[in-house]
Amino acid sequence: MSMLLLPSLVPSERSLYNVVLLLFGGLIFWVYRAWRKQSHVPGPFLASVSNIPRLLWARSGGAHKTHINLHEKYGPLVRLGPNSVSVGDPREISKMYGIRSSFGKSDYYKVLQPMSKGKIIQGLFNTQNDQLHRSMKKPIAGIYSMSNLVSFEPYVDSTIGFFLERLENAQGKGNGKIDLGTWLQWFAFDVMGEITFSKRLGFLDEAKDVDGIMGSIWKMFQYSCWVGQMPWLDRIWVKNTFVSRLLPEKNSPVVMFALARAQERIAEKLHGSGSQDVSSGYNSKDFMSRFLDARAKDPRIPEWFVTAWTTSNVLAGSDTTAIMLRAIIYFLITNPATLRKLEHELRQAQSKGQLSEIVTWKESRNLKYLDACVKEAGRLHPAIGLTLERVVPRGGATICGQFFEQGTNIGMNPWVIHRDKEVFGADAAEWNPDRWLDPDTERVARMDNSLLTFGSGSRTCIGKNISYLEIYKLIPTMFARYEVSLGFVVDSLWCQGSLDLTQFRLNCGTRNENGRLRTRGWWSRATFASG
């Protein structure tokens, strides 16, 4: 009986063998095809055949470190994926990101587009459509100029004063420990609320994450950080029409918040209150009013533009500012020599009557060492820790002497560019604000032009002046008001897993004309977005 069955088994085994051979051959062909596309670019072999390695780098929170190490090993061009290349030469910035650059944004930015009521909301930062970007930016670009933003100073001053008051009150309670990193983020959100909606969003008042907005933004950035390395995952998990019908509807808290504020303002205007009624509490020149005015002047502007504009303000403006504030404070207190230089500059300005209790934007322009510290913090710890990914346009492009076909994803990581020794010096990886005070103006200009802290070219972050307005007012105000020193450091390393920088205590003494009034201990746990 077994002899009769044996012949029938042989063809089956042979068929299975053929299937395995075919699959193996297909795998070899797929690997070779993926590897061959950018085979002229060096990099880890696994990254040349799959996007999984770069997804894992981003997921770990340490992609910025990995990219730095890869460029140190392989040079100015590094292959991060089958169709993804990282560029580490600042000389190529204008070609890839310049005003006249035709390099468009990659599909990574689709992952950053939030959804509301089943619809994708594109914004100034995340849209891939350059024409749409121009249409969205043109009606409101003037609002973000620094010459216009200084008119918002009274509202920023109000929030700074309240922030310092709340810090001192909160520190006096319980065990005397506060999470300064979180409080700085609450401050940034409330400033944005003040200038966008004419009222604080309530973070400082309630000392908590109002409506879970901060948490939702953090989750969105964490998600986009790693899923953006393989954007098709987002199309399957989140932006899939079929899947969305099966799952409970999820709306972005930030988008819903912006929609609610816009509807409130429209209702106020319809009922005849609003900007002309002092009791309404609204400022006729806040961002929301100007957004609505821009739409009223041009009927072609769709209603959703107002939602996109306000969402962009809350989303991008607040988080980036908070990261910068934390970085500046951290680097200053962990480098006492530079902190003393800043304090000396502030004392001198105070003695000459050139510093208000809450420092004005105009006064900050004369604080050269402060300016150097802000630039150095933005250089050494930019908010973005991944490549600012672009797509090579039609006809291809030559970068660093290598030709890339159209459709290639190519980008620069600010962490890599900002550590270029040819531009920033042999100590490019070190904190040194004095580099920005170099009498060689050409060198300083070259360093300035190599900064990607807020992006570059036509897609530069439109809200960077808002961040600068807050930073150049709050930092000198805090360090002129308090004597700050490092109490102790728990961990001075960048913790890749949790994306936390460090934990430290600030010994703060409040000053008056006679010197220190009292000593306080502020506990700061500064959280940084590495991705």
Calpha distance 103→245 (Å, rounded):
35
Residue 455 DSSP one-character state: B
Calpha distance 306→302 (Å, rounded):
8
Q: With helix as H, strand as E and coil as C, how does 23-54 read?
A: HHHHHHHHHHHHHHHCCCCCCCHHHHHCCHHH
Nearest partner of 466 among 304, 365, 319, judged by Cα = 319
Residue 262 DSSP one-character state: H
Q: Judge whether 461 is annotated as a binding position.
A: yes
Question: What's the full length of the chain, in residues?
Answer: 531
Calpha distance 505→523 (Å, rounded):
4
Contact by Cβ (8 Å): 67, 58? no
φ, ψ of residue 505 in degrees (nearest 5): -110, 135
Calpha distance 475→463 (Å, rounded):
19
Specify the residue for token string 């600042």: 90
Alpha-carbon distances, residue 47 vs 25, 51, 361, 498 (angstroms): 20, 6, 47, 24
Beta-bridged to residue 505, according to DSSP, are 523
Beta-bridged to residue 513, according to DSSP, are none
DSSP 3-state of 404: strand
44-52's contacts with Cβ under 8 Å and 24+ in sequence apart are 44/70, 44/79, 47/79, 47/80, 47/81, 48/79, 48/81, 48/82, 49/82, 50/81, 50/82, 51/81, 51/82, 51/84, 51/229, 51/230, 52/230
Calpha distance 166→169 (Å, rounded):
5
Q: With helix as H, strand as E and coil as C, how does 289-323 read?
A: HHHHHHHHHCCCCCHHHHHHHHHHHHHHHHHHHHH
Contacts of 202 (CB under 8 A, 6+ apart): 190, 193, 210
Specify the amino acid at residue 191: V
Return binding residues. 461
Return binding residues for heme. 461
